[in-house]
Structures are given as structure tokens and as C-alpha cells.
């Protein structure tokens, strides 16, 4: 029999708070972390983004007792893991525990402040950060690094699930983060993909993404321990459009493939899904593609939300942060609204959540899509009555 995999602990560090509970409370009050910023080191022009404040950046040092010169990116990962393991029996230093890092850019911002050299090239390599983080927690296993555009967080979770089910490990610590730099912001600006106002997922007046920085950690285990309100990570799948280096499929068929495969593996039908946590970047093409995919999967009536209007697009952290929020929503029987949404701007007639809703549901679907045509879909369910 295939091992069951459970969520045993989690953490979110974002501008809305440094614990999952703080973040979730702020979301239930419809508070967004997106603000107007004037930061010449990032952009010559003011811009909207979700950025950690100076106090939060300084508090990251509270989790560091080392002479190693960790970067902000690495401090975020360490802080998030440290808080996630506080209320669990999982030993981060055990050979039975693997560690998986999700990010899209890592320490790429160092190219803006440091002289280019072989040493710098080694320092910004993602495997360097992964090694430093696992060594901080005295973990003896080689870390896994997942960098697969905007589906990195979901792919990392799915990788962890499969490693546990293979019998190689009993537990997995999946952590992810990205921080905003001039390189990242200018990259999205070069695509003309950054909104000149807070993003509006699925809305008729949407015109691009808002970027954000955050960290998220999920601890998975085949041993549920004392957690009575357990959530099981049931299934997941990935697919690829093979369509365009940056533009998504125009039909949604490929994301639909990942959704249908996940539902089959979970032994679920479309009407078993309580709600969908979508990628919802607020770009013209992503939201249209996702809406078409949900319609193709016969999910038109299922409540859909996007959390990008609260956090912005947090890149390698997005899949983790949004999965955590959605898992807690499932536990509390609510669906959070899509901040910024007023009037549908997608052609498929899907059920976009525009206000907080109470539900009685046992299953949620989380999706994501990203550059290169990658798509991912995960299914989580309650394992309690």
C-alpha cells in the first residue's frame, strides 16, 4: 500500500506577518501587503510591490547563531524552517528527513552589489544556498533544489511527497523564498508585465503582475503524530504546454491534463473539489488560460480564488505560501476572496470568489503555471470528519 503523506507543520513569512496564523488572520480581514514604493535601488520609477519592512529584515537575524555571512534570501529560509519545526516532532537533523529548496532567483541580486568573479558565481549558485541551509540544521542528506519557474513551490512539494512514498525518507522539509531585486523587477518590466496599480486577478481591468517577497515552509511526513486536524497531500501532476518560452497555452488543455491526472490519482471527481486556489497572476494570458483549463476540467461551478492581490507574485515561494493558506482555509471551512477582483475579464464562465465564503468541503485543488509552459496541480484533503 502506498504511504500516506500528511502536512504536519508550516510557516509563512511575508509583509503580512512572520507566522502562518498572523498571515491568515490578516487575509480574513481582507488586508493586502501590496503598497506603493519609491526605491531607486530597484527602479527609477515608483512601483507597487509587496516587500518586507526593515523591522522584519532585522528580525531574521534572531534565528541565526553563526559566523556565516548568510544573505537575506538564506536568512528567510532559515527563519521560516525554524518556526515551522517548533511545533513538530520532526528532527531536521535526522537521516530520515530530506530538505528541498524552492526558488526561482535565489541570490541573483548579488550581481548588482558585488564584483563579478568566480567566487561570486559560486556564491549565487542555488546549490550553494541549499548546502548552507541544510548545514545550519545539521541535516546529513544532500538537499534537493527545485527551480522550475512559477511552479517551483508545487513541484518541490510533489518531489517531497514522492521521496517519502518511495521509502527513502519519513519526513520532508520543503522551503522556498524569493526576494525582489532590480534584476527581477526590471526583468518583468521588460516583458511589459508589471501592473501600474495593485494587480487584479481575473478582472476585466487587469494589466499585469505585482511582485512580492516572502518565504514559506511545509513539513511533510508519513507519520501524522498528534495532529488531529490532519490534511493529507493526496496527489499531484505536472505538464508542459510546449507552446512558448514565456506565453502560456491559449487553450488551457495542458493545465487541464495536470488537473485531470491529479484528480484521477486522488480518486476524486470534479464536484468533490471544495475550492480551487489558482495561480491568478493578473496577466491577460495567464488568467484566460487558467479559466479555460478549469472549464475544460468541468470545474466551472467550483469557487476559485487567487491570493496574488494580497501577496503579489512571490515567485519561488508562491506555490508554498498559497498552498499553506489554502490548507488552512480548508481546515476552517472558508474560501478567501480574490483581492482586486470586481468584474470577470475571462471568457470561461468560472466561479471567481469575490467575498469570503463559508463552505463544507473536504478537498482543495491548487494550480500554478509558469514561464516555459510549465503547469502543476496538487490535491489536498481532510483526513478527519
Domain boundaries, the chain: 6-221, 234-382
Measured CA to CA, the distance from residue 34 to residue 213 in angstroms comes to 10
Q: Which of the four CATH numbers 2.40.110.20, 3.40.47.10, 3.40.920.10, 3.40.50.2000 does domain 234-382 have? A: 3.40.47.10
| pLDDT reported for residue 18 | 95
Contact 218, 174 (CB under 8 A): yes
Cα–Cα distance, 164 to 166 (Å, whole number): 5
- What is the pLDDT, as a whole number, of residue 228? 64
pLDDT of res. 227: 59
Cα separations (Å) of 339 from 200, 278, 291? 7, 13, 17
Distance in angstroms (rounded) separating the CA atoms of residues 107 and 175: 15
Distances (CA, A) of 342 to 72, 127, 194, 338, 354: 36, 42, 19, 9, 7
Question: What pLDDT is recorded for position 223?
Answer: 87
Provide the residue count of the chain: 385
Is it true that 6-221 and 234-382 share their CATH fold?
yes
Give DSSP secondary structure letters for 214-261.
EEEEEEEES--TT-SS-EEEEEEEEEE--S-SSSPPSS-HHHHHHHHH
Q: Where are the beta strands (DSSP E) in the chain?
A: 6-13, 35-37, 47-50, 97-102, 144-146, 171-178, 211-212, 214-221, 231-240, 275-277, 303-305, 334-335, 351-352, 357-358, 363-370, 374-382
Directed axis angle between helix 20-28 and helix 318-331, to 10°? 70
Sort strands 334-335 and 303-305 into parallel, antiparallel or unpaired.
unpaired
Quote the CATH superfamily of domain 6-221: Thiolase/Chalcone synthase (3.40.47.10)
pLDDT at position 226 is 58
**pLDDT, block means (10 residues), the chain with 385 residues:** 91 98 98 97 96 94 85 97 94 98 97 94 97 97 97 98 97 98 94 95 97 98 75 98 87 97 97 97 97 98 98 98 98 97 98 96 96 96 80
Amino acid at each position: 500500500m502506498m504511504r500516506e503523506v500528511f502536512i504536519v507543520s508550516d510557516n509563512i513569512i511575508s509583509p503580512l506577518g512572520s507566522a502562518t496564523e498572523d498571515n491568515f488572520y490578516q487575509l480574513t480581514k481582507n488586508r493586502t501587503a501590496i503598497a506603493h514604493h519609491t526605491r531607486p535601488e530597484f527602479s527609477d520609477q515608483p512601483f507597487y510591490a509587496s516587500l518586507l519592512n526593515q523591522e522584519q529584515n532585522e528580525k531574521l537575524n534572531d534565528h541565526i547563531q553563526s559566523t556565516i555571512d548568510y544573505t537575506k534570501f538564506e536568512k528567510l529560509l532559515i527563519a521560516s524552517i525554524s518556526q515551522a519545526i517548533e511545533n513538530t516532532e520532526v528532527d531536521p537533523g535526522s537521516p530520515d528527513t530530506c530538505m528541498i529548496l524552492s526558488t526561482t532567483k535565489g541570490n541573483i541580486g548579488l550581481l548588482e552589489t558585488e564584483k563579478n568573479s568566480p567566487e561570486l558565481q559560486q556564491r549565487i549558485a542555488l546549490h550553494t544556498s541549499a548546502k548552507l541551509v541544510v548545514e545550519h540544521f545539521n541535516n546529513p542528506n544532500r538537499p534537493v533544489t527545485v527551480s522550475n519557474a512559477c511552479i517551483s513551490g508545487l513541484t518541490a512539494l510533489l518531489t517531497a511527497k514522492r521521496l517519502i512514498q518511495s521509502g527513502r525518507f519519513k519526513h520532508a522539509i520543503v522551503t522556498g523564498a524569493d526576494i525582489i531585486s532590480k534584476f527581477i523587477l526590471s526583468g518583468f518590466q521588460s516583458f511589459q508585465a508589471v501592473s501600474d496599480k495593485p494587480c487584479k486577478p481575473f478582472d476585466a481591468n487587469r494589466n499585469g503582475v505585482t511582485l512580492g517577497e516572502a518565504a514559506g515552509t511545509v513539513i511533510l511526513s508519513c507519520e501524522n503524530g498528534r495532529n488531529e486536524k490532519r490534511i493529507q497531500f493526496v496527489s499531484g501532476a505536472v505538464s508542459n504546454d510546449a507552446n512558448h518560452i514565456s506565453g502560456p497555452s491559449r487553450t488551457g488543455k495542458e493545465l487541464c491534463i495536470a488537473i485531470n491526472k491529479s484528480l484521477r490519482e486522488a480518486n476524486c471527481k470534479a464536484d468533490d473539489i471544495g475550492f480551487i486556489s489558482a495561480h491568478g497572476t493578473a496577466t491577460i494570458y495567464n488568467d484566460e488560460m487558467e479559466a479555460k483549463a478549469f472549464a475544460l476540467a468541468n470545474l466551472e461551478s467550483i469557487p476559485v480564488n487567487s491570493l496574488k492581490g494580497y501577496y503579489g507574485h512571490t515567485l519561488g515561494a508562491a506555490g508554498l505560501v498559497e498552498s499553506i493558506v489554502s490548507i488552512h482555509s480548508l481546515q476552517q471551512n472558508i474560501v478567501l476572496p480574490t483581492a482586486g477582483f470586481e468584474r470577470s475579464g475571462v471568457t470561461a464562465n468560472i466561479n471567481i470568489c469575490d467575498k469570503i465564503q463559508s463552505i463544507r468541503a473536504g478537498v482543495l485543488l491548487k494550480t500554478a503555471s509558469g514561464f516555459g509552459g510549465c503547469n502543476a496541480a496538487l490535491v489536498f484533503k481532510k483526513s478527519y470528519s
